[in-house]
Structure 1
C-alpha cells in the first residue's frame, strides 16, 4: 500500500515539478515586464478571483466530495452505473458553472470592488481590472470540469495526466509574452485559452477508460444530490488557506501600490514546494482513504494517514526552513530584474518569511482534511475552518494596525503572518479531532523519526547560515553569480539534510512498509 502510494506521489511530484518550473519562468516574465506595477496588481486580482473559485470549488470542495462518492460507486457498482454518474455529474456541473460564469462576467465591476476595494480610488485601475476579469472569469468553468476529469482519472490510479495538465496554463502565459510583452490584457486572453485547452487535454484518457459519456442534466439525481450535500460545507472547510489569502488581497489593495504583487510573488515561491510535495501527497492519499473507508479497513485508513504525515514532515520541514532562511536570495535570484527593483525584493522577502512560517500548517491541512472527507464527514472541518478564518481576520487587522503604528516598512507581511497562523490553528484542530475519534492512531517509531528530523534540519540550517552571503551582496551580484550561489547552497543543504538522515539510520524502506 505505502509503496504504491510512494510511487504515485513521486509521479505526481515529478509532473508537478515541471509545471512549477514553468510557473517560475512565467513569474520571472511577469516580474521583468511588469514588476509590482498598478497594471500587474489589476491582472493578479483578476486572476485571483477565478483561481480562488478554482481552489475552493474545483480542487477543494468538488474534488473532496466527488472522489469519495465516485470511488464508492466504482468499487461497488457495474461500469455502466459509473459511466452514468460521470454523465449526470458533468452535465449538472457544466450547466451550473455556465450560469455562474455568465453572472460573474456581467457582475465583474461588483466582484472587483468586493475583492479589491482599494482599487475604487483609482478609476483607471478599476476599469482595467474589470476588463481583465471578464476574460479570466470563464477559466473557473473550464478548470472545474478539468478537476472533475482529474478526479475520475485519479480514482483509476492515473495521476500523471492530471498532474501535468497545469503546464498548459503556464505555456499559454509564457507564449503570450511573444505576442505583446507590454500589455497585461494579453495575459488575460491567455488564461481564457488555457482553460479550454486544459479541459480538452483530459479527453483522450477519459475516452480510453470509457468515461467520456454524453453529459446530461441530473439535478434531481440522488448521487448528484449526495455530492452537493457533501460539497456545500466543504466549500468552506477545505479552503481556509484560500480564503485567508483572499482576505490578504482585499486588505493589501488598501495599502500602497505593489502590496498585492509582493504578496503574490511570495505566495508563488511558497506554492512551489507546497504543490510539488504537499499537494502531491494529499492527491494520492484521498482515493486510498476513500477506498479503505468503503471497504471498512480502519487500520489501513489510520496507517495511510500516518504515512502521509511522516512523508509531509520529511520533505516539508526542510522546505519551510529553506524558504525562511533563503527568502531574500530566492526572491533576488528569480525576480530582481528590470522593473522589479531592490525595494520590491525587500518587501517580497518579508512576505515570504511570514508565509514560510505557516508552510507546514498549510501542508498538514492538505493531508488531514482527506481524513474527514474520505469518510464523508464534512461538518467538523467547516467548524474548524470558521475558527481559523475568524482568528486570521482578527490577527490580520491587528498586525497591519501594529505595523502602521510602529511605522514598519512592510505592513503587508502582517497579512501573510496572520494567514500562516490561521493555517496552524486549522491543522491543530483537525489533528486533535482525528486523534480523539480514534480515526488516526500513530504507528510505532515516531520518537526516533522526530529526533532524526530535528538533527537533519539543524545541520541544514547551520550550513545555510554559515555560507549564505548578505542580502545586499545578492542584490549587487549578477544573474550568473546569483544562480551559482543559490544552486550551490540548495544542493549542499539537501545533501547535508539527507546525509544526516542516512547516518542517523533512516532508510527509504521506512516509507515503503504497509504498516
Structure 2
C-alpha cells in the first residue's frame, strides 16, 4: 500500500475517528456482553444437569463438527474476504448499486454449500464419530453419532447466519449481529430446561439446532429493503474475488482442523471428564476475548479496509495501532484478574448439582493453562484483520499452518511428560491445553514481527509503550487482588455466596487499583473509555 493519500480516491464514508471506533466497539461489546453472559448461563445449565460426565463430553465432541465446518466454509471467509470485498462495494458510489446483486449471489452459494455439508454429516455420522471420539469406547462413540445427526441441520443454518452477519458488518450494521448469539444461547438453554427430563442428553444437540434457527430469524430482517433473491452466478467477479482471497485461508483452516481432530481424539482418550472440563474452561477464557479483542477487531475492520481502498496509509496505521492499544489496555488486566480469581469464579459459575469439587479443580487447572495464551490471542485478532483489510490472506494462512505444527509438537510431547511426572490420568489432558496456549504465543509472536513491516514505526512504538504500562499496572493489581482473595478465602470459606463475595470483591479492588494506575502510567485508552462512558451517561 502506498503511504500517500490518493487525491482521486472515490467518495466514501467518513474516516473512523477515535470516538466512532470506540462507539462501534462499545456497541459490539454490549451485544457481546449479553451473549457472553447468556453463554455462561448456558454452560452453567449444562454443567448442572450433565457435570463432566460422558453425555457432556460426547456433546462437546459432536458440537465441534458444526464449529469446524463453519470455520472452514464461512467463518474464516467473513473477515478475510467477505467484509473487505463488500466494504469496497459499499464505499464506492459507482459500485454501490451492484452491492445487493453480489449479496444475493453470495447467499445463494453459501446456502447450497452448507446444505450439502448438512446432508453429508447426517449420512456419515457414524464414521465421523469414530474418527473424532474413538477413546470414548463403543457406547460413547454411538452417542456422539446420534448427537451429530440431530446437530446436522444447524450446519446450513449457521452458514447462512454467518453470511448475513458478513453483509451486515460490511454495511457497518452492528446491532443485529450483536444480538444474534444471545438468541442462540437462549435456544440452547431453553432446550435443556424444557427437554432434559424427557430426552436426557439429546436436549443438548437439539438446543444447537433450535438456537441456530432462532438467530437466523433475528438476523434476516436486517437485509430488509436490500432486494435479496436467489441468484446463481458462479462467475460473478465479486464472488471470484472472495474465493480468491479465501483460498489460502481455506487451505490454512483445512490444516488447522487437524488440531481440532487431534485435540478431540487425544482428549477422548484422557478420560470422560477431559472434553467437558476443557469446554467449560474455554467458555471462561472466551468471555474477555469476545468482549474485548473480537469486538474491537470487528469494529476496526471496515475502517481498515476503507483506508486501504483509499490509500490512506496514516489513517490505516492510526486505526490499527489504536485498536491494538485498546485491546492491550483491557485484555492484560482481564487475564491477570481471571487468573488470580480462577477458583472462586469457576466455583461461582459452575458448581451446582452434578458439578462438584473435583470438577471445579479440573476446570480451574485447565483455565490456568488456557490463560497463558489469552493476551496473545487478544493482539492476534486485530493483527490478522489488518492483513485481511489489505486483502492479503496468504500471510495469516501460512502462519496459521505453522502454528498448528507448534500445537501438534507440544501436544505429543507434553502428554508423555505429564505421565512421567506421575500425575493422575485425569490431569494429563492439561498437556493439550498448554499446547493450545503455546500455539497462540507462537502465532502472535510471528504476527508482531510482521507488523513491523505493516505499519509505521511510530505507531508500533506506541503499542509497545502501552503493553509495558498495562503489564506493570496489571501486575500491581494482581498482587493486590491475590492478597485480598487469600484473606477472604480463609475468612469466608467455600460455597456459592463465598465465591460470589470473593469474585465481586476482587473485581472491585482490581478495577480500583488498575484504572487510576494505568491512567497515571499514561495509558490513554483508559481516558478514551472514560470519555465514552461519560458521554453515554450524559445522553441519558
TM-score normalised per structure 2: 0.89
CA–CA distance in structure 2, aligned partners of residues 474 and 107 of structure 1: 55
CA contact (8 A) 1:306 1:440 kept: no
Gaps of 5+ in 1: none
Provide the C-alpha distance between the structure 1 equivalents of 2:219 and 2:514, rounded to a whole number of angstroms: 38
Which deviates the most, 169-178 or 239-248? Answer: 239-248
Q: Deviations over 1:48-91 (max 9, x none)?
A: 21122224443323442111111112222344310100011111
Name the SS for the 2:196 alignment partner.
coil
Measure how far apart 1:241 and its partner are. 8.0
1:289-333: per-residue Cα shift (whole Å, max 9, x none)?
111111111111111110111011000111111222222221111
Tell me if the contact between 2:252 and 2:401 (Cα under 8 Å) persists in the aligned partners. yes
| TM-score of the superposed pair, with normalisation by structure 1 | 0.93
Check conservation: 2:71, 2:253, Cα contact below 8 A: no
2:498 to 481, 490, 495: 481
- Cα pair 1:302 1:440 within 8 Å, conserved: no
Identify which of 509, 512, 517 aligns with 1:500.
Answer: 517
Matches within 5 A, 1:407-418: 407-409=422-424, 410-418=427-435
Query: Which residue pairs with 1:66 in the alignment?
Result: 82
Given the superposition, is the C-alpha separation of residues 161 and 402 from structure 1 closer, same or farther in structure 2, using an over 3 Å criterion? same
Aligned to 1:180, the other structure's residue is in SS state helix
Given that residues 83 and 213 in structure 1 are in contact (C-alpha distance below 8 angstroms), is that contact kept between their aligned partners in structure 2?
yes
Q: Does 1:458 align with 2:475?
A: yes
Change (3 A) 1:60 1:475: farther
3-state SS in 2 of match to 1:177: helix
Distance 1:225 1:475 in 2: 62
- Matched residue, 2:46: 30
1:128 maps to which of 111, 132, 143 = 143
Q: Distance in 1 between matches of 2:310 and 2:257?
A: 32
Map 1:2-401 onto structure 2 (within 5 A).
2-76=18-92, 77-119=94-136, 121=137, 123-182=138-197, 183-207=200-224, 210-237=225-252, 244=259, 247-401=262-416
Q: Where does the alignment leave 5 or more consecutive residues of structure 2 unmatched? A: 1-16, 532-540
Sort the Cα spacing of 1:66 and 1:273 in 2 relative to 1 into closer, same or farther, 3 A: same
Q: 1:484 to 1:315 in 2, by over 3 A?
A: same
Give 1:507 deviation, angstroms.
4.4
* Distance in 2, Cα, partners of 1:474 & 1:108: 52
Residue 211 of structure 1 aligns to a residue whose secondary structure is: coil
Q: How far 1:235 moved relative to its partner?
A: 2.6
In structure 2, how many angstroms separate the alpha carbons of the residues matched to 1:344 and 1:470? 24
Q: Give distance in 2, aligned partners of 1:275 and 1:475.
A: 32
**Residues 25 and 257 of structure 1: CA distance in aligned 2, closer, same or farther (over 3 Å):** same
Distance 1:283 1:242 in 2: 23
The 1:233–1:443 alpha-carbon spacing in structure 2 relative to 1, beyond 3 Å, is closer
Range with bigger deviation, 46-55 or 440-449: 440-449
